[in-house]
Structure 1
């Protein structure tokens, strides 16, 4: 995120001495992307950030994925998926490929006896973009504390040590990349500023407001690290000699932030606009889009719901989070649903929704979409909450004009 911030105490010049009031030298850490050829930040620690005293295996939840074969569209009911309550340990993988993984968890709240902060956690594979379907709380990080609320995307750069502290029960939809996640390049100047035609601006991005130092940090701490080994997602427990939350100051363009979908300004047109106008973030081989309450097409003969489309290069994953999604009436899709439409399959509205949408002036609907440019596979969480009847709903809608047979 190429938008400079500075918190806490830092020296006037980079890579020069910075001491505490007693004269002890702080330890400088450069955290940077792409071999220090892209965004970076400088952090100043009380302790040595590389001082570990133990390393052990962290057994991750089931990461196995099943190919979508034979090919068909699928409907996953996330609100029927049972999870544990830890925001990190109890995520269940719903969909994934070698570029991105989508998981889901429902946390406990502050009134729940089982509620505790998550373990200290670091994803060393890629950035995380966690959509907060409901709930509130904070994310404590080495850069400071982020408050989160319903509708927030919480964007956490790769290898940022953090922990989740829910204050109310929270439904978290975690998009874990094997790359970095950033605003779409077409919305950015060559220097990284969000341009005038972008549907949001830097004013809408909320980073930490102050550093967050754990005063008993000399006692050390365990950090759970997700990383890769032989092409597989694996985990390690690293024990540090001092607590990672010992950063007294930092500055730079790399840090976690939140962005709420209420601050996104939908782009509309005279006829139906294609999904790229709804894009909010991009990663390597995938994009994230918002579909939000908005005025719809104003051509007198416009058909407001989307046309049938074959996105030949992509799998499309739509997570329905609010309102009443006009195009899917009669399909079984509801709040908390995921529709997964794979490349190689033409999809679109239920047939009866087309006529029903004529004359509509606005849609009150909210959804988060992930489009991937490599085929997705079904995780164990997705398999556990699938609606097996969904694939045949287009043929069953308006069955009086149908010929042939439908697979049960």
Structure 2
């Protein structure tokens, strides 16, 4: 997502003296990835960003695994997870591998009593229910239903919700999250055939600059532990910054689907990429317009990836008995396709209003105890023909 952005006041030249109005210097910090080779931003602090005055015991947040070698198609009833007050405690990991954690959250309260950053992973929050503001030391991004929020690793942030009714689908990625490479030219600009463009991005605004001394609790996730550090100054003390590494948002409603005369494969829905997985957006669109087209997807083999689908809204035409907040897992190694009847009933349909987020991982996913607790237990039998219905194991 290489795009230049700046907020606040910065000096004319990098790495030069930047004087405060009442004397002294602002403190420069490079915020970058992949050593000094990846995207970075340069920020200027009122106080040194290194002043830790106390450290509390770290908390173990390792996911509790239930299935480490999965070859079962599953349906998880996501909205059955109960809401919780604390933002971090509400985040429930459901599927994990060495590259990514996939989970759900239903936080009732805003994250305002402490600050948080993930030192291991880029985060992506998909807002299914709720409105509010993502507040960071690089500015604020208002969010609403359908927004993706991409938060680079190491970004200090808080979240303010407008109500207690909030639902998030989230990812923690150990690889940086980018826009698809095939939609970018060699300068990094999104090209004309891209289903999204820079104009659609939600960039940080309203830079907060706090000059406050006190005790500011920072919870930092690193290595399956939540470390608790107390800083001497308010973390949001940046007076200005510029660069390419910062949080940003994009609405799934601004994704422009690519359609064709016959059924288009899932890569046309790709919205984000990493080295280890891709994220796709299934949005309202016209169906295929060949006179003999079958709009429902053909059966296909998941040999190289596990497919996770999070159902957001509308009638997902290839599935039976699917509701908002459901998650399906189609593991690599066995084929999957439309449910009985979906293939036939799609013929002649002109459009779909479905809305879903898909994550295809290139390594197998393990399931947590929390995932098994909301698994319906019978989804793997849902492709049986009608004459087999009476033999299904309930």
Counterparts in 2 of 1:197 and 1:161: CA distance versus 1, 3 Å: same
Q: Distance in 2 between matches of 1:390 and 1:403?
A: 13
Does the Cα contact within 8 Å between 1:68 and 1:378 map onto a contact in 2?
Answer: yes
Does the Cα contact within 8 Å between 1:292 and 1:366 map onto a contact in 2?
Answer: yes
Displacement of 1:403 after TM fit?
10
Partner in structure 2 of residue 303 of structure 1: 294
Q: 2:88 aligns to what SS in structure 1? A: coil
Does the Cα contact within 8 Å between 1:62 and 1:380 map onto a contact in 2?
Answer: no
Among 125, 129, 135, the residue aligned to 1:130: 125
Partner in structure 2 of residue 117 of structure 1: 112
Q: Distance in 2 between matches of 1:224 and 1:250?
A: 23
Counterparts in 2 of 1:63 and 1:249: CA distance versus 1, 3 Å: same
The two structures have a TM-score, normalised by structure 2, of: 0.96
Q: 2:279 aligns to what SS in structure 1? A: strand
Residues paired across the two proteins, number: 393
Deviations 1:184-231 (A, max 9, x none): 11111122111111111110011111311234x211411111112xxx
For structure 1, list consecutive stretches of 5 or more residues without a partner in the other structure.
109-113
Does the Cα contact within 8 Å between 2:125 and 2:150 map onto a contact in 1?
Answer: yes
Higher mean C-alpha displacement, 311-320 vs 48-57 = 48-57
Counterparts in 2 of 1:145 and 1:324: CA distance versus 1, 3 Å: same
Deviations 1:51-74 (A, max 9, x none): 112223332445122335462100
| Residue 377 (str. 1) matches residue 366 (str. 2) | yes
| Residue 366 (str. 1) matches residue 355 (str. 2) | yes
Partner in structure 1 of residue 72 of structure 2: 72
Partner in structure 1 of residue 153 of structure 2: 158
Partner in structure 1 of residue 256 of structure 2: 265
Displacement of 1:161 after TM fit?
0.4
The two structures have a TM-score, normalised by structure 1, of: 0.93
Q: 2:79 aligns to what SS in structure 1? A: helix
Q: 1:197 aligns to what SS in structure 2? A: coil
Does the Cα contact within 8 Å between 1:133 and 1:321 map onto a contact in 2?
Answer: yes
Q: Distance in 2 between matches of 1:170 and 1:403?
A: 37
Does the Cα contact within 8 Å between 2:97 and 2:364 map onto a contact in 1?
Answer: yes
Does the Cα contact within 8 Å between 2:148 and 2:251 map onto a contact in 1?
Answer: yes
Deviations 1:215-259 (A, max 9, x none): 4x211411111112xxxx222111112111000000001110110
Among 168, 171, 174, the residue aligned to 1:172: 168
Partner in structure 1 of residue 35 of structure 2: 35
Q: Over aligned residues, Cα RMSD in angstroms?
A: 1.6
Does the Cα contact within 8 Å between 1:130 and 1:154 map onto a contact in 2?
Answer: yes
Partner in structure 1 of residue 199 of structure 2: 203
Q: Distance in 2 between matches of 1:62 and 1:15?
A: 40
Q: Distance in 2 between matches of 1:116 and 1:203?
A: 29
Q: Distance in 1 between matches of 2:323 and 2:344?
A: 20
Does the Cα contact within 8 Å between 1:93 and 1:380 map onto a contact in 2?
Answer: no
Partner in structure 1 of residue 383 of structure 2: 394
Deviations 1:146-178 (A, max 9, x none): 111000000000100001111122211111101
Q: 1:287 aligns to what SS in structure 2? A: strand
Does the Cα contact within 8 Å between 1:272 and 1:305 map onto a contact in 2?
Answer: yes
Q: Distance in 1 between matches of 2:6 and 2:68?
A: 46
Does the Cα contact within 8 Å between 2:61 and 2:226 map onto a contact in 1?
Answer: no
Does the Cα contact within 8 Å between 1:2 and 1:192 map onto a contact in 2?
Answer: yes
Counterparts in 2 of 1:68 and 1:268: CA distance versus 1, 3 Å: farther
For structure 2, list consecutive stretches of 5 or more residues without a partner in the other structure.
none
Q: Distance in 2 between matches of 1:90 and 1:241?
A: 28
Partner in structure 1 of residue 318 of structure 2: 327
Partner in structure 1 of residue 340 of structure 2: 351
Q: Distance in 2 between matches of 1:166 and 1:189?
A: 37
Partner in structure 2 of residue 282 of structure 1: 273
Displacement of 1:305 after TM fit?
0.8
Q: Distance in 2 between matches of 1:249 and 1:121?
A: 21
Counterparts in 2 of 1:403 and 1:202: CA distance versus 1, 3 Å: closer
